[in-house]
A and B are shown apart, each in its own frame.
Chain A
Amino acid sequence: MLIEVDGLEKAYGQGAERQPVLRGVSLGLEPGASLAVTGESGSGKSTLLHLIGLLDTPDAGEIRLKGETVTGLDDAGRALRRRHQVGLVFQQFNLVPSLTVEGNLALQARLAGQHDAEWIDTLADRLGLAAFRQRYPEQLSGGQQQRVAVGRALAARPALLLADEPTGNLDEETSDQVLDLMLELCADAGAGLIMATHSRIAADRLSRRVHLTGGRLS
């Protein structure tokens, strides 16, 4: 099993204002498989991805990544696993504005010490970014920026790709293109994919789907 989530709970706020966001979520994903997490706004999709992506820590429950329990890790331990095993794609792209497309593509691979120029070239070609490699993010369209984000997430050949509403800021046609590329590249790299989306069409493209309502899976 690539990822195993068991009884995950998370709440935000203090005292009487404390709001539970996830209530005992459990799921699993095999290597190379893909899973869509759907739900309304505020249902806990992003929180679930943040916890699986080791960006945040749960209040209760356990996460195992490739059989290793990662819920008790400290900040440095979580950072190490993020760097080497997890690729992240955000709705807002989150590219580094002062780096070129090439710099952004290679960033995570360099941080992980796994820079492979050939693989970066392949990614740039497959993502249609070869002509824009020396441009800066502000000189790209939204779709192009999201393709750079996908390339960056896959550059270090992660075991798991997490995408949080990756097409939320894109038009339908561009969304389809980005999704196609993401699925193709994940398959080629052998990476598992978990994607949070409120788009039924996008969710249908993935091999499995779970729905979050009020912090619970249905």
Chain B
Amino acid sequence: MIGTALATLVSHWRRKPGQLATLVIGLSLATALWTSVQAINAEARASYDQASAALGGGSVISLTAPEGRIHRSVWAQLRRDGWDASPRIEGELVLADTVFALIGVEPLSASTSQAMVGGGEGVGPAFLTAPGVLLAAPETVEGLAAHQADLPPVQASAQLPRGQVLTDIATAARLLDRGDQIDQIVINPDAREGLTPLAVLAPQLDRVETTDTGEVSRLTGSFHLNLSAFGFLSFAVGLFIVYAAVGLAFEQRRSTLRTLRALGTPVRVIVASLLIEAFAFALVAGAVGVLLGYGVASALLPDVAATLRGLYGASVSGELSVRPDWWLSGFAIAILGALGATAQSVRRAATMPLLASGQMRAWALASTRRYLLQAGIALALFALAALIPQLASGVLAGFALLASLLLGAAIGLPALLAGVLNIATRLVRGAVAEWFLADTRQQLPGLSMALMALMLALAANIGVGTMVSSFRLTFEGWLDQRLAAELYVTTRDDAQSDAVRDFLEARADAVLPIWSADSDIAGQPGEVFGVVDHATYRENWPLITARPDAWDQIAAGEGVLVNEQSWRRAGLALGEPVSLGEGATLPLVGVYSDYGNPNAQAILGLDGLVDRYAGTVSRLRYGVRVDPDEAQALTEALRAQFDLPADGVIDQASVKAFSLSVFERTFAVTGALNVLTLSVAAFAMFASLTTLASMRLPQLAPVWALGLTAAHLARLELLRAGVLAVLTWLAALPVGLVLAWALLAVVNVEAFGWRLPLHLFPMDWLRLAALAILAALIAALLPARALVRKPPREFLQIFAQER
């Protein structure tokens, strides 16, 4: 019996292939966007876990020499004493105009190095023996191919980020001409028990113990949550299509359901049939969605990997692996989505009286009571959104706020539109205009799902667009302030640093040392910089809050500036002492914005830095103030005089361009998801309008019979789609702006530690309005065209048929 009932219900889709396509495409798109985000997150998590596992629980000690290089014999001594130590060389491999980051490791000496070579991928005898092998990401291999004649064989490895080249330490030493010098010794601290302490074995070396993989997971957690939230929003928008398609199918199958019941099919059989049908859809759409999601994730992953590297220094593979956790989650969300979208239809089928009307009720006038209820729920959700920041904090609370806001706006939209149409009905005069508004109001229940989807997509677009644009504007201004010097010079060692400083003193307007040391800042690991007293800082440095005499106190060594993220995390107040490691403190005299840096940072007077951190200060970098017209000549003079590294002298414009390119790449993923969500919403409009068009004839036939031509009716259909798109856009505008505010003032602060000012971009909104109207008109065009071409016979049939 269930087979017959199921076949009878499924036969509906055979007669409505367009509707079936709408449902499957909607669910597939929703699943695809969700799956793509999950795939990206899973890939990133796997990279963190792999690194963490290889590092024996995520902790590592690195030894470096204050003077820059370590002799290989030190590493050999540590090995002889039983330490699980591995040498490492880092340098820049300059080939023509391209610079690659070359890393040399000794893969057999320590587990810590295994992480670097992806658990052994590509490590064979050829890697370890001359001429060696260079491992690089597939994209980097292409860049290296042009210089193959000068290099050892190159091999692609999906484990490495773009631009990085990994090789055996002997090969790296040869390519960088390092001889017996290495840069770092990496030590697995788990194996230290019973060994001679490092402080005894290598007292001359600096020791830094980090738990960087755990740190990376913590730092990137916000980013992944951000992506998940966007993925879920896209999924929700896609689900509106499914919900609308399933709802319409229910209305169209109402008479079939009633007939099945009348012929003796028990309710439980009908419910089971509907659930089996939904499950089957979920499996088909889930499979399509997972495949599509794989494609989207593969396309987005390189940008995400770049973002994670740029923002957090996290190394994530640029190539996507098929992992069960994300494709299973894709199927799970497709099944949940299909069942969720079907739930209401199943409930209605289960409770529908046997003798209920079999007529479609897509246009049944939604009662005023229903609109009032929707408005009430919307207001309650808005109130909840307003309360959340008072009740809770954290990124999750931020997203709960956004969810309440968006859900409230979506639920309240039909009531708002009905209210606007009611007011308009009272204001207009003329039979056609009155019929048009009344008919539009009658269509609202059938169109509301698509309009909600459109509103969510528009609000998300406005919100995220405003956030990104505000960020860009602020970031550009901030770069102008932070990068006030015309040239930035990096020297090889302290001796060269002194020589370069002497050279520049005579030729530049000012030489501003950018010296730094690692230190705890208010209990967080970070970096302390020393600055000289100069107008460049007093006039340009982007201070958020400061004492009036902040720069005087910095110059006198009596105060410290900290970056915004340390200030917020530690909850510091001006004048409060800031601990700077080993019991030293200085009062806080100001806070500066420091976008793109997840770590703590502080600024002292230069003398104070050298006094406090003697021996550990990196003194290799300078900012140079010079007449911009003379910058090029000075660059050339510096390069001619000194053997500086390839990136030893960089002009301000290059640094800004690089920073902005990192910024653009960071938000490339957000932009792509934004466009995809809007496309899904446009498809929702198209699907709803085309499906509803097939049921519109009973409303249009009487008006046609009264004297309006089919062409006139078609124009009115187009006008209706445009009007509804404009009204939806108007409703989305305030929601999007509140969303932008929440992202900038709540989510960003929780996720990244900095707060950004909100800027408004009305031209972007107008562009979005034009897009929304265009999407609605395109969606309405096909049904309108079909209406114009409809023969009179079809209108007349309406009067002869049961309705």
Known contacts A55-B262, A107-B4, A111-B4; is-contact A99 B354 (Cβ 8 Å): no
Q: Choose among B4, B8, B259, B358 the residue with the greatest number of A CB atoms under 10 Å from its CB.
A: B259
> How far in angstroms is the closest Cβ of chain A from B248?
14
For A113, what are the chain B residues with a Cβ–Cβ distance below 8 Å? 1
CB contacts under 8 Å to B, within A65-102, are 75-76, 79-84, 86, 88, 90, 92, 94-99
- The answer on a CB contact under 8 Å between B267 and A75 is yes
Residue of B4, B260, B261, B265 with highest tally of chain A CB at under 10 A: B4
* Chain A to chain B: the 8 pairs with minimum beta-carbon distance, closest first: A83-B264, A82-B264, A98-B11, A110-B4, A98-B15, A98-B12, A79-B266, A108-B263
A88 in contact with B263 given A107-B4, A111-B4, A111-B5 (CB within 8 Å): yes
Which chain A residues lie closer than 8 Å to B255 at the CB level? 94, 96-97
- CB of B426 within 8 A of chain A? no
A59 to B110, CA, bound (A): 86
Closest chain A residue to B255, Cβ basis: A94
**Residues of A close to B354: CB separation below 8 A:** 55-56
B14 contacts A84, CB within 8 Å?
Answer: no
Contact check, B266 vs A76: say whether CB atoms are below 8 A apart.
yes
CA distance A54 to B324 in the complex (A): 51
A136, CB-defined interface residue at 8 Å: yes
A103 pairs with B264, CB closer than 8 A: no
A112 interfacial by beta-carbon distance below 8 Å: yes
User: B355 at the A/B interface (Cβ < 8 Å)?
Assistant: yes
Among the interface residues B263, B266, B268, B802, which one has the most CB atoms of the partner chain A within 10 A?
B263
Q: Does B472 contact A (CB under 8 A)?
A: no
Distance in angstroms between the alpha carbons of A152 and B8 in the assembled complex: 14
**Which A residues touch B496, using CB under 8 A?**
none
A50 in contact (CB, < 8 A): yes
Interface flags, B101-130, vs A, CB<8A=1, else 0: 000000000000000000000000000000
B258 close to A (CB within 8 Å): yes
Cβ of B256 within 8 Å of any chain A Cβ, yes or no, is yes
A150–B15 Cα gap in the complex (Å)?
24
Kindly identify which residue among A80, A82, A90, A107 contacts B8, using a CB–CB cutoff of 8 Å: A107
**Among B8, B262, B264, contact of A99 (Cβ-Cβ < 8 Å):** B8
Cβ of B15 and Cβ of A136 under 8 Å apart?
A: yes
Select which of A82, A90, A98, A108 is within 8 A of B256 by beta carbon. Answer: A98
Please list the residues of chain A having a beta carbon within 8 angstroms of any beta carbon in chain B.
50, 53, 55-56, 75-76, 79-84, 86, 88, 90, 92, 94-99, 103, 107-108, 110-113, 136, 152
CB distance from B802 to the nearest CB of A (A): 5
In the complex, chain A residues whose CB is within 8 Å of the CB of B4: 107, 110-111
Tell me whether B266 and A50 are in contact (CB under 8 A). no
- B328-362 CB contacts (< 8 Å) to partner A: 354-355, 358
A80 to B261, CA, bound (A): 11
- Bound state CA distance, A90 and B354, in angstroms? 14
Bound complex: CA of A53 vs CA of B355, how far in Å?
Answer: 12
CA distance A142 to B264 in the complex (A): 24
Q: Which residue in B260, B355, B358 is a CB contact (below 8 Å) of A55?
A: B355
Closest beta carbon of chain A to B801's beta carbon, Å: 9
30 contacts between A and B (CB under 8 A): A55-B262, A76-B266, A76-B267, A79-B261, A79-B267, A80-B264, A82-B262, A82-B264, A88-B262, A90-B262, A92-B358, A94-B255, A94-B258, A96-B259, A97-B255, A97-B256, A98-B11, A98-B12, A98-B14, A98-B15, A98-B16, A98-B256, A103-B8, A107-B263, A108-B264, A111-B264, A112-B1, A113-B1, A136-B15, A152-B263
Of A53, A98, A111, the contact of B1 (CB 8 Å cutoff) = A111
Interface string of B265-309 (1 = CB under 8 A from A): 111100000000000000000000000000000000000000000
Instruction: Give complex CA distance A88, B265 in Å.
Output: 13
Contacts of A97 in B (CB 8 A): 15, 255-256
Q: Kindly provide the distance from the CB of A129 to the nearest chain B CB, expressed in whole angstroms.
A: 18
Given contacts A55-B355, A94-B255, contact A99 B263 (CB under 8 A): no
Chain B nearest Cβ from A92, distance in angstroms: 5
Give the chain B neighbours of A152 by CB distance below 8 A: 263
Q: Closest residue to A88 on the B side, CB-wise?
A: B262
A110 to chain B, nearest CB (A): 4
Q: Is the CB of B259 within 8 A of A112?
A: no
* CB-based nearest A residue for B353: A56
In the complex, how many residue pairs between chain A and chain B have their CB atoms under 8 Å apart?
Answer: 79
- List the B residue with the shortest CB-CB distance to A113: B1
How far is it, in angstroms, between the C-alpha of A81 and the C-alpha of B265 when the chains are bound? 10
Residues of B within 8 A of A90 (CB): 262
Instruction: Please give 19 more A-B residue pairs, beta carbons under 8 A apart, in addition to A79-B264, A110-B4, A112-B264.
Output: A56-B355, A75-B266, A76-B268, A80-B266, A81-B264, A82-B262, A86-B264, A90-B262, A95-B259, A96-B260, A97-B15, A97-B255, A98-B11, A98-B15, A98-B256, A99-B11, A107-B4, A110-B1, A111-B264
Bound Cα distance from A37 to B174, whole angstroms: 107
| Complex contacts, B802 vs chain A, CB 8 Å | 92
Question: Which chain A residues lie closer than 8 Å to B256 at the CB level?
Answer: 96-98
Tell me, in angstroms, the Cα distance from A136 to B389 when the chains sit together: 59
> Closest B-chain residue to A91, C-beta based?
B802
Task: Verify A94–B264 contact, CB threshold 8 A.
Answer: no
A96 / chain B contacts, CB cutoff of 8 Å: 8, 11, 255-256, 259-260
Whether B355 and A94, one on each chain, are in contact in the complex, defined by CB atoms closer than 8 angstroms, is no
User: How far is it, in angstroms, between the C-alpha of A115 and the C-alpha of B278 when the chains are bound?
Assistant: 27
Measured between beta carbons, the chain B residues less than 8 angstroms from A99 are: 8, 11
State in angstroms the CA–CA spacing of A92 and B255 once bound together.
11
Q: Which residues of chain B from 1 to 35 have any CB-CB distance to chain A below 8 Å in the complex?
A: 1, 4-5, 8, 11-12, 14-16
Distance (whole angstroms) from the CB of B515 to the closest CB of chain A: 79
Q: Within 8 Å CB of B262, what residues of A?
A: 53, 55, 82, 88, 90, 94
- What residues of chain B lie closer than 8 Å to A76, measured between beta carbons? 266-268
Cβ B268 vs Cβ A83 within 8 A? no
Chain B nearest CB, measured from A22 CB (Å)? 15
Within 8 A of A (CB), among B581-635: none
Docked CA distance A107–B9 (Å): 12
Chain A proximity of B270: nearest CB distance (Å): 10
Contact B263 A83 (CB under 8 A): yes
Within 8 A of A (CB), among B244-264: 255-256, 258-264
What distance in Å separates the Cβ of B157 from its nearest Cβ neighbour in chain A? 55
Residue of B nearest to A99 (CB): B11
Known: A96-B8, A98-B12. A84 touches B264 (CB 8 A): yes
State how many angstroms separate the Cβ of A121 from the closest Cβ of chain B: 19
Q: How far is the CA of A108 from the CA of B802 in the complex (A)?
A: 23
Pair B263/A82 contact, Cβ less than 8 Å: yes
Please indicate the chain B residues that have their CB under 8 angstroms from the CB of A83 in the complex: 1, 263-265
Determine which residue in B258, B265, B266 has the highest number of CB atoms from chain A within 10 A of its CB, and name it: B266
Hey, which chain B residues are within 8 Å of A108, CB to CB? Answer: 263-264
> Which of chain B's residues 48-92 have a Cβ closer than 8 Å to chain A?
none
Complex partner residue of A94 from B15, B265, B268, B358, CB under 8 angstroms: B358
Does the CB pair A79–B265 fall under 8 Å? yes
CA distance A70 to B267 in the complex (A): 18
Closest to A169 in B: B802
Contacts of A56 in B (CB 8 A): 354-355
Nearest-Cβ distance from residue B254 to partner chain A, whole angstroms: 11
Q: What is the distance, in angstroms, from B595's C-beta to the closest C-beta of chain A?
A: 59
In the complex formed, the residue of A with least CB distance to B354 is A55
Q: Which residues of B contact A86 (CB under 8 A)?
A: 264
A107: B residues at CB distance < 8 A = 4, 8, 263
Distance from A93 Cβ to chain B, minimum over Cβ atoms (Å):
8
- What's the Cα separation between A53 and B261 when bound, in Å? 12
Task: State how many angstroms separate the Cβ of B463 from the closest Cβ of chain A.
Answer: 43
Q: Which residue of A lies closest to B5 (CB)?
A: A111
Minimum CB–CB distance from B274 to chain A (whole Å) comes to: 15
Chain B positions 350-401 with a Cβ under 8 Å from a chain A Cβ: 354-355, 358
Most chain B CB inside 10 Å of its own CB: which residue of A79, A83, A90, A103: A79
Residues of A within 8 A of B14 (CB): 98
Contacts of A88 in B (CB 8 A): 262-263
In the complex, which residue of chain B has the Cβ closest to the Cβ of A108?
A: B263
Q: A94-B255, A97-B255, A107-B4 are in contact. Are A50 and B355 (CB under 8 A)?
A: yes
